[in-house]
Amino acid sequence: MMESLHRSRAAWGIALAGALLAACGDGAPSDLDQRLAQYATVDLTTDTTALTRRDRVMISLLIGAAAQMDTLFWHQVYGDYPTLLADIKNPDLRRYVAINYGPWDRLRGDEPFLTGAGTKPAGANFYPRDMTKEEFETFVAAHPDQAAAFKSLYTLIRRRPDGTLYARPYREVYAERLLLAAAALRTAADLAEDEELHRYLYARADALRSDNFGESDRAWLDMKDNTIDIVIGPIETYEDQLFGYKAAYEAFVLVKDRAWSRRLARYAALLPSLQRGLPVAAAYRREMPGTEGDLNAYDVLYYAGDANAGSKTIAINLPNDEQIQLEMGTRRLQLKNAVRAKFETIMVPLAGLLIAEDQRPHVTFDAFFANTMFHEVAHGLGIKHTITGRGTVREALKAHASAIEEGKADILGLYMVARLFEQGVITEGDVRDNYVTFLASIFRSVRFGASSAHGKANMVRFHVFQELGAFSRDSVTGTYRVNVDRIPEAIRALSEQLLVLQGDGDYEGAGKLLAEKGVIGSELQADLDRLAAAGIPVDVVFRQGEGWMPRTVSVTTGR
């Protein structure tokens, strides 16, 4: 049984649950209502008129596969989560634990919100709770033949009875859940009328059970005409804050918005020329991004696992495999209904409080959507392999890699917008919309907390822009104003700094930047507190997946 594979963590989970309840009754923090109010509840919906009955059955099957990723992510973060949840009788508290996938508040730097929870392990449940970074590195240095397995995206590090470390593949640890997910994907594949979708679902089912994702990543990139899609598997490394080595399970079930996708399709072809113009020395832009990937808009029907923890993803840029990116590019998925939900529930009221009154009309949905889109496109720019022989950027920067990469994508996304306005490629709107919306979005993202790679990246950008005069704060009104004439220099300076850190694989330099500038000062914190006092939510939680389970239908599954 899978539960037995986590005995050490399960024992800790049982002990923790008992300690929480013994320490504080039902374990609820005194400000639970305020913490729950940080999240606005929204429905995930889409236009279903073009969906067939086969589509609806497929969606139900894909949601079933995605739900398995949710369970696996719980195990990767916490361990024996059923015991934790079962012992919490307060439904509001149980809901908040579920939102955070554990007793640590993701919007408050992973601080424990239950008495007795203790500090969240930096390595989550990917490593033994008592393992140090030094122990890991010493073991790998002494056993170079095991280095690849220890640093693999798809292994857990565990301890033998004699205390020595060993690596165990996800495909073994999570075999039962992966089998169920793979079966659902294969059944959905047999319903798919689109040949590329059929091939991808079968390839992804195989990948979940083998931990070899290259073929399925390429099959996913090959898909062009499918209406229904799913992103599923161990993908991002944000949860591993010890080394950034381990990928966490997640899933998105998606329906393409064809009208919006047609508007976006032309931008992917511009990547090579934008790469050549990056504001950095030639050595740091020598890699040429692939252009076979595409850019589309989707509505999300279901989030699971890492994607659903704390602050919610509103765009996707995959695959993360550096070699596949260079060969084929990436697919960039803009999650339109999620973007609109955040814009309406968060960005609009936030701008009304923190942006100078005369610049508030420049905070627009189209600019927010474009900035989000170009952030994802910008992940394809820059460099994937260090120029100093330190391997890939991800390997060299370790736990700092995600924050630096997110910061790079944000600033290069704005660089792209400005360049495309200058070149006349973008003709609708006003670049000031993008600049002011970008500033407002910094305030939105820094509220995700110090444990978030996006939050750290936004704080670095806030401090650099402040130092270079790209915006100013009115001490009387407590509002911020974009200084349009100074934005270009701030973009250039920060772009160069982040690209050089990545290209050099400068782990120490990246850590220094994040330590010095990835923090929230007292003045900004006071302004963020005003947002909380005004009842402006920090992020969203979803009512999702309801109504998709099919009633009695007869569908032929053979092809």
Give me the domains of the chain, ranges plus CATH numbers. 3-39+73-162 (no CATH), 175-543 (3.30.540.30)
Nearest Cα residue to 200 out of 212, 185, 187: 185
Closest by CA to 115, choosing from 106, 103, 123, 99, is 103
For residue 11, is pLDDT > 80?
Answer: no
Give the N- to C-terminal CA distance of the chain in Å, as an integer.
34
Average pLDDT in the chain: 89
DSSP structure class, residue 534: T
Q: How confident is the model at residue 555 (pLDDT cuts 50, 70, 90)?
A: very low
Q: At residue 298, does pLDDT exceed 60?
A: yes
ω before 550 within 30° of 0 (cis)?
A: no
Q: Indicate the range of 176-185, 344-353, 411-420 predicted with least confidence.
A: 411-420
In 452-554, at which residue ranges do the beta strands (DSSP E only) sit?
471-474, 479-482, 539-543
pLDDT tens readout for residues 270-290: 778 888 888 899 999 888 766
Percent of all residues in the chain with a pLDDT value above 70, rounded to a whole number: 91
Distances (CA, A) of 42 to 338, 344, 540, 546: 9, 11, 7, 13
**Confidence band of 523 (pLDDT split at 50, 70, 90):** very high
Contact 326, 91 (CB under 8 A): no
> Coil, strand or helix: which one is 273?
helix
pLDDT per residue over 73-105, tens digit each? 999 999 999 999 998 999 999 999 999 999 999
pLDDT recorded at residue 179: 98
Distance separating alpha carbons of residues 367 and 358, to the nearest angstrom = 17
Q: What pLDDT is stored for residue 23 in this prediction?
A: 39
* pLDDT surpassing 90 at residue 559: no
- pTM here is 0.81
Q: Which two tokens stand for residue 330?
A: 């990436």
Closest CA to 232 of 325, 316, 155: 316
* β partners of residue 485: none
- The mean per-residue pLDDT over the stretch 465-486 comes to 96
Question: Residue 236 — φ and ψ, nearest 5°?
Answer: -90, 160
Q: d(Cα 430, Cα 269) in Å, to the nearest integer? A: 23
CA–CA dist 186, 90 (Å, integer)? 39
C-beta of residue 330 within 8 angstroms of C-beta of residue 318: yes
Residue 6 has pLDDT above 60, yes or no: no
Residue 409: predicted pLDDT: 92
Which tens digits make up the pLDDT trace of 413-461? 999 999 999 999 888 889 999 999 999 999 998 887 655 677 788 899 9
